[in-house]
Amino acid sequence: MKIFLVCFTVFIAVLEIYWIVRCMEYARCAYQKKQVPFVASDRTLRRAVVREIASRYPNAKNICEIGSGYGGMARAIARRTGANVVALENMPFTYFVARVADFFTFARRVKTIKCDAFEFLGEYDGVFDVAVAYMGPGINDKLKPYMDKFRVLILLDVSLTDGGADYVVDLKHGFTRYGPLKYPHKLFIYENKK
């Protein structure tokens, strides 16, 4: 009985620490960095993105996830498509959780990098076959100067403000909430014609 109580107490303490740190990071993200706080992708979005990449771009081998959070999307893409995925995350605790999850799930094809995605893209020499971004209203438009860094850009739930997506996939189920607004689950796919 004592072992159970000790284990339960440790579990509750770890859970409380996790929530405190997550709330602090959320506040830092929203108020200090003035960006949309991390929103985890759900299974519906992950499956839809993997399905689109596998069916439309089966030869994609170099994929980037911008704003990867805990890395669930990056791991799903790597596992289902066999591609190498670079996952970019700038929040320290979220990055730490993603690295731990990568380790315990043997995500060998995923390279999680703690960095500002826009600085990384500005310095990156190559071109990604596909980039996936789940960053939210206003922030997605910051990707416009870097469109030449991807052959294909898939935005989740929120399009660029000027529209222009080559394909829109309406998942007809689920939504993401940014503040008081709900954005239905959709994939906005932009192909670089150059």
Q: Which residue has the higher pLDDT, 89 or 8?
A: 89
Q: Which pLDDT score, from 0 to 100, does residue 93 have?
A: 81
- Interhelix angle for 92-104 vs 72-81, to 10°? 30
Q: What is the pTM of this model?
A: 0.84
| Position 60 confidence tier, pLDDT thresholds 50, 70, 90 | very high
Interval 82-137: pLDDT, tens = 999 999 998 888 888 899 999 989 889 999 999 989 999 999 999 999 999 988 78
Please state which of the ranges 81-85, 133-137, 149-153, 176-180 shows the lowest mean pLDDT: 176-180
**Mean pLDDT computed over 152-181:** 87
Instruction: Region of 77 please: left (phi>0), alpha (psi -120 to 50) or beta.
Output: alpha
| Position 16 confidence tier, pLDDT thresholds 50, 70, 90 | confident
Q: Decide if 25 contacts 95 (C-beta within 8 A).
A: no
Q: Which pLDDT score, from 0 to 100, does residue 27 have?
A: 67
Number of H helices and E strands in the chain, helices first, is: 5, 7
Distance from C-alpha of 95 to C-alpha of 180, rounded to nearest angstrom: 27
pLDDT at residue 184 greater than cutoff 60? yes
| Position 154 confidence tier, pLDDT thresholds 50, 70, 90 | very high
Mean residue pLDDT across the chain: 86
In terms of Cβ atoms closer than 10 Å to its own Cβ (0-12, 13-18, 19+), residue 111 is middle
Distance from C-alpha of 36 to C-alpha of 179, rounded to nearest angstrom: 9
| Position 39 confidence tier, pLDDT thresholds 50, 70, 90 | low
Distance from C-alpha of 73 to C-alpha of 79, rounded to nearest angstrom: 10
In terms of Cβ atoms closer than 10 Å to its own Cβ (0-12, 13-18, 19+), residue 36 is buried
Nearest to 149 by CA among 169, 109, 119, 188: 119
| Position 187 confidence tier, pLDDT thresholds 50, 70, 90 | very high
Q: Which pLDDT score, from 0 to 100, does residue 183 have?
A: 85
